[in-house]
């Protein structure tokens, strides 16, 4: 069920922008998927995502570029039910969504918080592949659907904090293990 991507160049690890940076709240422009700078940006997004433990997606605004490009890879994540492997899209939009469900989300651009966000559990996304510009349709569900919606939101200047279910649905991120945790002391 993996998506066949064109071979991207080697990517460089970029710095991740943190809220409240303006680029995170600005709607990104559509980009030319065949332009060498966009292709390199996509490769850099993948490289940056891969070095961050637990990261399953990254969008161009998160590395300071106000453009509509992102990558997602939920394969190997314990919450994954459906996985298309590595997904890299530009100019993507959700064309169908159903069955909303609340779930916890975090973000590399908001490293100290998580929050409960209501998202569709089944979606269809149309976007273009970098390098070839080919338009593709991805239909997915569960955790992969949540990750895609999260990254598409970034491309339109929306953070997960903008979508939390209520004022009491934001939590400090737990970056340490406590007694009683499965891997804790």
Q: Give the separation between CA 31 and CA 142, rounded to whole angstroms.
A: 28
Q: Structure tokens of 54?
A: 């637990």
How far apart CA 32 and CA 14 sit, in angstroms, is 21
What are the Cα distances from residue 64, in Å, to 23, 113, 122, 148?
6, 20, 30, 19
Q: Kindly report the number of other CB atoms within 10 A of residue 132's CB atom.
A: 13
User: Is 151 marked active-site?
Assistant: yes
Catalytic residue, candidates 101, 105, 151, 178: 151
Q: Which residues contact 18 (CB under 8 A, 6 or more apart)?
A: 109, 110, 111
**Residues annotated as catalytic (active site), given as ranges:** 151
């Amino acid at each position: 069920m993996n998506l066949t991507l064109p071979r991207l160049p080697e990517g460089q690890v970029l710095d991740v922008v943190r809220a409240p940076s303006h680029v995170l709240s600005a709607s990104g422009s559509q980009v030319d998927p065949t332009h060498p700078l966009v292709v390199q940006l996509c490769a850099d997004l993948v490289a940056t995502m891969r070095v961050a433990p637990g990261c399953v997606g990254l969008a161009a605004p998160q590395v300071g570029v106000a453009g509509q490009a992102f990558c997602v890879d939920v394969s190997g994540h314990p919450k994954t039910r459906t996985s298309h492997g590595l997904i890299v899209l530009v100019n993507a939009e959700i064309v169908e969504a159903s069955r909303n469900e609340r779930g916890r989300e975090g973000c590399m651009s908001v490293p100290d918080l998580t929050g409960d966000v209501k998202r569709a559990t089944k979606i269809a996304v149309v976007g273009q592949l970098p390098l070839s510009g080919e338009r593709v349709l991805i239909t997915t569900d569960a955790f992969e659907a949540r990750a895609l919606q999260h990254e598409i939101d970034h491309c339109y200047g929306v953070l997960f904090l903008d979508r939390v279910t209520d004022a009491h649905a934001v939590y400090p991120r737990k970056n340490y293990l406590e007694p009683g945790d499965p891997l804790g002391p």
